[in-house]
Structure 1
Amino acid sequence: MAKLWTNSRGPIPASDIDVRRAGAINALLVSPLEILPKEPGDPVRPLAVGIWHEIRPLLKPGIGTTVLRKAMGSYLHSKRYYLASAQPDAMRHDLDGRPVGEISDQDRLAAQESFLTLLKREGKEAPEPTEAPVVIAAPSKAELIRAALLNRRASSAPAN
């Protein structure tokens, strides 16, 4: 199992190609998405899960959803989008660019692996970690319940 990155690189700035991809998406919509970068250097922000259902109704009349899916896919499967999604402090955002929740460890790991795969295809080396990576395992539901019950018992136990 690969290990999650523990050091954040901060906001990932959009490149010229990211801005062109975002512009291609916005050109298909009746109103531009605030979450997408408008110029190089703007942050690349991961989208909220299920946001497609909010974007699709914004499609201009006469344009098929396949065209929008391809434009979105080009942006979402880019190296910088994967890198932004793999950051330890990465957040998902709504259409207006407001944070709506953290990216799950599972999604971060998938983004990290996709980023590294794209780097490898380009013949580039993976960045060296500055500290030992840590594998984060989410506690199971049973472990969470057990911990809550133990805390309740410990706080209600009589003092000697």
Structure 2
Amino acid sequence: MDTPAKPAKSKTRFASVQPVLEKLFELYPQLFGERFLPLKLGIFQELLAAHPDDFQRESLKAALGVHTRSTRYLQSVAAGQKRHDLQGKPVDDVAPEHIFLSIVELFQRRQARSGEDLRPKLRAQLLAAFEKSGLTRQDYLARIGTPAEVIQVLLDEVLSEVEQQRARRAALRQAFEASGQSVEAFADALGMRVGDVQAALK
């Protein structure tokens, strides 16, 4: 007689916390509904305090773990959306390292299922995330730690490219300030479009 296949660990974990996830959806559809949003740090304690009769510590902890490791949740973090409180109000920025880790995790999940090389998309996401962080190369690396080699190669390229872009913008801004010209005249003198100059001077 064949031995029945054991359910995948992830499916078993989801099934065990599904009642808690359904309760969270019932209470906070703006956070746990069709659209997932990054959650405020400390929301676990707030949920326990607000609903002592609805949630037990361990089951709620497990449910939030499943929720925050889900692809849809990671997508919201990778997109750089703000963290939200129980009322659904944006309260804090997601830390650059959390955005980075979410981008990398999503890439690894998708690449494992895809025959397509997804590294160009990853590179574009990393570039946008680093530029948005406003951090220096040194500070960014200090916060994200040491990634896998394939990620490190792309990251080195991205950090160098953004640093070069920042240097060019700084030089352009300095030249503009020294010129005493209007943006239009300055752009015309350099043979650049006014919109490009305005974007670089921001």
- Output the TM-score relative to the length of structure 1: 0.56
Give 1:95's aligned residue.
86
The Cα of 1:60 is off from its aligned counterpart by 4.7
Higher RCO (C-alpha 8 Å, min separation 6): 1
Alignment of 1:10-159 (within 5 A): 24-27=20-23, 32-38=27-33, 42-61=34-53, 63-88=55-80, 90-121=81-112, 123-124=113-114, 125=116, 126=118, 128-129=120-121, 132=124, 133-134=127-128, 135-136=130-131, 138-139=135-136
Larger CA Rg, structure 1 vs 2:
2
Specify which structure has the higher proportion of helix.
2
Rate the CA distance shift 1:105–1:83 in 2: closer, same or farther, 3 A: same
Q: Which runs of 5+ in 2 are unaligned?
A: 1-16, 140-202
Rate the CA distance shift 1:127–1:32 in 2: closer, same or farther, 3 A: farther
RMSD: 3.4
Q: Which runs of 5+ in 1 are unaligned?
A: 1-20, 141-160
* 8 Å Cα contact 2:75-2:102 kept in structure 1: yes
- Distance in 1 separating the partners of 2:18 and 2:27: 9
* Percent identical: 20
The Cα of 1:93 is off from its aligned counterpart by 0.5
> Number of aligned pairs?
115
SS at structure 2 position matched to 1:61: coil
